[in-house]
Structure 1
């Protein structure tokens, strides 16, 4: 299957969501909450219930932390060079340090590697959500003079349904609790998660309004997110003792666009919302060009 035939169905679903929102003007927060608080937790529960925990989980965690902190460090250096304010620095962190591996990356891995790659993709999605709900919220609140970043991050962690789904799945696995006949119901809900979050992303992109673009900040965010991030990821994973497919998934995930959730955080805390929104929209569109290159190089040379 060619790279184009892999990406086209994904952007087709995004486009359906975009067009639907154009005419129906639905409340996307309702759909987003449905996916976040109901569908995705069941998907995560099933993954952690069925998958054995091994050392690869530790390497995935190290990779996520290493990539995120490396990008934050680069943003901090560039902010000093460009003389950005603290709010501008935090906005740039939101634009470049967090990947969209939920709405975008997980479906992409499903199309690329099939169900065999989904376990790794879902674990990365949970870890990314954990990072966004801690570091992401922290930097969003830190960029606003009216909020305490640490306290806001703690409150966000307590509301993370994905993590509870993972914990319950692990407990059911360790205690050998059978699902019995409700397993079919769990599968139905879990299988609905991917298409719903994809359509929701299309709707969210439609809701983004770009009034003015700071090209300096946008180009910096796009360069870090779409080009520098996969290079850093490759440097991290190539020395890790994990299988080839896992390495490829980790690098490809790093090249996904700016996470849609960071836009919501930026708006909520008034931390460069226009620039973060621009980065989310433009990086998603730009990934049509950059993602095929990353996929080709990764699957050819890794």
Structure 2
């Protein structure tokens, strides 16, 4: 029960966003854009500016890449056995490969492991954001009716403010530039506000999810991969990495997160089975209310 109370504050904020969307019907895309382009970059800058650069960064990046490769292979094989069409394969990839490390994972880590764990969670959030805006767009584009090229996907990554903010933060740290306290106070205000906002956005997105009929065998497959196989794969990968228990705990928790809500936007944009993607996001998010405390129990939180 204590583990459930760790994620309860996060669920309360989700619920506020859900109820608010049901009653007022906000423009979710605009609010999400504000979060992505105006607020998250400050959070990324602060994290990369204040977190000391060590070999852990390299291992975290390697972990994120290996986990995506493993999940891609598992999903592709499972989709083959389900005789999925190209659009359904892409929809499964969106749901199974990309976890909600930002507006769900980071807050859970903050409440469970405090500020030290939260800094690691933000690093993962930035990496996953880059992957989703490159590989995610690629999967959505090749399986949908929308038009996009690999070049356009990578161009989109280069235009992401969180990437620029992360690079600036690392650069200023390396050359030992001291940012004046009044400036950092302003950065802190925006950075601290970004997490509650992205949590509200997830609640709004869940409220807007379509409940039309979908093929449940695909939802079941993606749910098993995302909720069960993903954290197990993370444990297997981390077994060989010389990382601290804190970092390993953060990475496993992030790997256990439900499908990323932003994949629904990609599916809608490129018409890649949006009902399947959105319903998968909803189902895995509901399951995660019970599965995440179990994961935290097994890793000793």
Q: TM-score by structure 1 length?
A: 0.96
2:146 and 2:137 map into 1 onto residues whose CA distance is 13
Q: Paired residue for 2:115?
A: 115
1:149 and 1:83 map into 2 onto residues whose CA distance is 26
The 10-residue stretch of structure 1 (275-284 or 173-182) with the greater mean CA deviation from structure 2: 173-182
| 1:149 Cα deviation after fit | 3.9
1:228 and 1:221 map into 2 onto residues whose CA distance is 10
| 1:176 Cα deviation after fit | 2.4
1:220 aligns with 2:213: no
| 1:8 Cα deviation after fit | 1.1
Q: Paired residue for 2:60?
A: 60
Q: Paired residue for 1:270?
A: 271
| 1:61 Cα deviation after fit | 0.8
| 1:177 Cα deviation after fit | 2.3
1:196 and 1:71 map into 2 onto residues whose CA distance is 29
Q: Deviations over 1:112-163 (max 9, x none)?
A: 0111111110110011111111111111111125524413312321221111
| Residues 14, 198 of structure 1: 8 Å contact kept | yes
1:89 and 1:67 map into 2 onto residues whose CA distance is 18
Q: Paired residue for 2:205?
A: 204
Superposed CA RMSD: 1.3
Taking the TM superposition and a 5 Å limit, the aligned residue runs for 1:130-149 are 130-149=130-149
| 1:54 Cα deviation after fit | 1.0
- Structure 1's unaligned 5+ residue stretches are none
| Residues 94, 140 of structure 1: 8 Å contact kept | yes
What is the SS of the residue equivalent to 2:191?
helix
1:116 and 1:61 map into 2 onto residues whose CA distance is 18
Q: Deviations over 1:38-69 (max 9, x none)?
A: 11100110111111111111111111111111
Q: Paired residue for 2:183?
A: 182
Q: TM-score by structure 2 length?
A: 0.97
What is the SS of the residue equivalent to 2:240?
coil
Taking the TM superposition and a 5 Å limit, the aligned residue runs for 1:95-114 are 95-114=95-114
1:130 and 1:297 map into 2 onto residues whose CA distance is 29
Q: Paired residue for 1:159?
A: 159
The 10-residue stretch of structure 1 (78-87 or 66-75) with the greater mean CA deviation from structure 2: 78-87
| 1:286 Cα deviation after fit | 1.0
Q: Paired residue for 2:259?
A: 258
Note closer, same or farther for the CA distance 1:285–1:184 as it changes in structure 2 (3 Å cut). Answer: same
| 1:75 Cα deviation after fit | 1.3
Taking the TM superposition and a 5 Å limit, the aligned residue runs for 1:27-66 are 27-66=27-66
Taking the TM superposition and a 5 Å limit, the aligned residue runs for 1:241-252 are 241-252=242-253
What is the SS of the residue equivalent to 1:99?
coil
Q: Paired residue for 1:172?
A: 172
| Residues 238, 247 of structure 1: 8 Å contact kept | no
What is the SS of the residue equivalent to 2:300?
helix
Number of residue-to-residue matches in the alignment? 300
The 10-residue stretch of structure 1 (106-115 or 280-289) with the greater mean CA deviation from structure 2: 280-289
Note closer, same or farther for the CA distance 1:145–1:22 as it changes in structure 2 (3 Å cut). Answer: closer
